[in-house]
Amino acid sequence: MRSSQLLVLLLLRVCCLSSEAESVHWNQFRGPNGAGIAAGFKPPLKIVADQAAWKTPLPPGKSSPVLWGDRVFLTGVEGDRLTTLALDANSGKILWKRAAPEVPLERVHRENSV
């Protein structure tokens, strides 16, 4: 698994923990109010891959994850289609995938996209 995918998964777990701790939704880039703050939660001092709650292969993309209840929503590019995915926040299981209508997409660079 690429290190960028692992980073996304670890960030998702951090978001899940903050969501559980304060029972709010992480509904946009940098969370509630765009402040980037998860009240009552301290980020880990050291990220250890073996301690991730779950790992799920994801398509490359640029979206910020959205946490809503027990769901994680994000987008990625599969082939030439933008795809929205919903994952179970507790297990990482992909619950559904929906491809956007077919339109020209901006290119996704494999070295500079999460």
Q: What is the 3-state secondary structure (H, E, C) of 26-41?
A: ECCCCCHHHCCCCCCC
Terminal alpha carbon distance of the chain: 12
**pLDDT at position 3:** 52
Q: pLDDT class for 18, splitting at 50, 70, 90?
A: very low
Structure confidence at residue 92 (pLDDT): 93
Does the CA dihedral 23-24-26-30 come out positive or negative?
negative
What is the pLDDT at residue 100? 86
Distance of CA 9 to the CA centre of its chain: 6
| Residue 113, pLDDT score | 64
CA 110 to chain centre: 17
Integer Cα distance of 12 and 17 in angstroms: 9
pLDDT digits (tens, 9 = 90+) for 94-104: 999 999 887 77
**Full-model pTM:** 0.61
Predicted local distance difference test score (pLDDT) of residue 38: 74
**pLDDT confidence of residue 108:** 76
Q: 23 falls in which pLDDT band (50, 70, 90)?
A: very low
pLDDT 10s digits, 36-89: 777 777 777 787 878 888 888 999 988 888 888 899 999 999 888 889 999 999
